[in-house]
């Protein structure tokens, strides 16, 4: 090369390459399953609560919020192993309809009728007792 590139050009090229690489990675992750990739999925408008498992034996946060009523929950697996999602009501009773995501990129959805109060979200897989979060419904 005999010409001098503009000073910002190399960085722009690196950024574009990085984006292309990430897109390729996302495509690879998607190609093995019909489910969307955890980090690139668009959450549908009717989802009232989105919970992500992983990476690792954890949820993406320790506290979630939702609006009382019929709540559609989307559970996405951003980890390499199976996780479940059970909602425990303020009385300590597990709501029917446990969600399960068997592998990376898997998603599951369920609808729950929630009244205002403090619920818990847990993963029931043995050894995953530290996967617990608070769900505040108001
Ligand atoms: Cu788990």
- Rounded-to-integer distance, Cα 124 and Cα 127, Å: 8
H and E: helices and strands count for the chain = 1, 8
How many angstroms is it from 69 CA to the middle of ligand 1? 26
> Average pLDDT of 111-117?
98
How many angstroms is it from 67 CA to the middle of ligand 1? 25
pTM score above 0.85 = no
Helix (H), strand (E) at residue 117 = strand 117-122
How many angstroms is it from 137 CA to the middle of ligand 1? 22
- Edge-first strand order for the sheet with 49-53 is 49-53, 69-77, 107-114
Please provide the size of the chain in residues. Answer: 138
pLDDT higher than threshold 80 for residue 18: no
How many angstroms is it from 115 CA to the middle of ligand 1? 25
What pLDDT sits at residue 41? 60
pLDDT higher than threshold 50 for residue 124: yes
How many angstroms is it from 60 CA to the middle of ligand 1? 12
How many angstroms is it from 84 CA to the middle of ligand 1? 6
- The DSSP annotation for 9-60 comes to HHHHHHHHHHHHHHHHHHHHHHHT-SSPPTTTPPPPTT-SEEEEE-SSSSBS
pLDDT higher than threshold 60 for residue 129: yes
Extents of the domains making up the chain: 49-137
How many angstroms is it from 27 CA to the middle of ligand 1? 25
Domain 49-137 = CATH 2.60.40.420: yes
pLDDT tens column, 85-94? 999 999 999 9
- Chain-centre distance of CA 99, in angstroms? 12
- Rounded-to-integer distance, Cα 62 and Cα 134, Å: 6
Q: Let me know if 32 is exposed, middle or buried by CB neighbors in 10 A (0-12, 13-18, 19+).
A: exposed
pLDDT tens column, 47-102? 999 999 999 999 999 999 999 999 999 999 999 999 999 999 999 999 999 999 99
pLDDT tens column, 20-46? 444 444 443 433 334 444 455 689 999
How many angstroms is it from 79 CA to the middle of ligand 1? 9
What pLDDT sits at residue 1? 47
- pLDDT grade for 12, boundaries at 50, 70 and 90: very low
Q: Let me know if 7 is exposed, middle or buried by CB neighbors in 10 A (0-12, 13-18, 19+).
A: exposed
What pLDDT sits at residue 42? 82
pLDDT higher than threshold 90 for residue 16: no
How many angstroms is it from 29 CA to the middle of ligand 1? 20
Using alpha carbons, list the distances in angstroms from residue 24 to 21, 30, 31.
5, 10, 10
């Amino acid at each position: 090369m005999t010409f001098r590139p503009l000073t910002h050009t190399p960085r722009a090229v690196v950024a574009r390459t990085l984006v292309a690489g990430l897109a390729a990675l996302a495509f690879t992750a998607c190609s093995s399953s019909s489910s969307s990739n955890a980090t690139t999925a668009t959450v549908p408008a009717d989802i009232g609560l989105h919970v992500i498992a992983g990476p690792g034996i954890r949820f993406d946060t320790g506290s979630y919020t939702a609006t009382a009523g019929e709540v559609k929950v989307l559970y996405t697996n951003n980890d390499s192993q199976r996780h479940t999602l059970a909602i425990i009501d303020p009385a300590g009773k597990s709501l029917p309809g446990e969600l399960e995501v068997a592998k990376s990129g898997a998603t599951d959805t369920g609808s729950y009728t929630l009244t205002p109060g403090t619920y818990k979200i847990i993963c029931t897989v043995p050894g995953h007792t530290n996967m617990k979060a608070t769900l505040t419904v108001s």
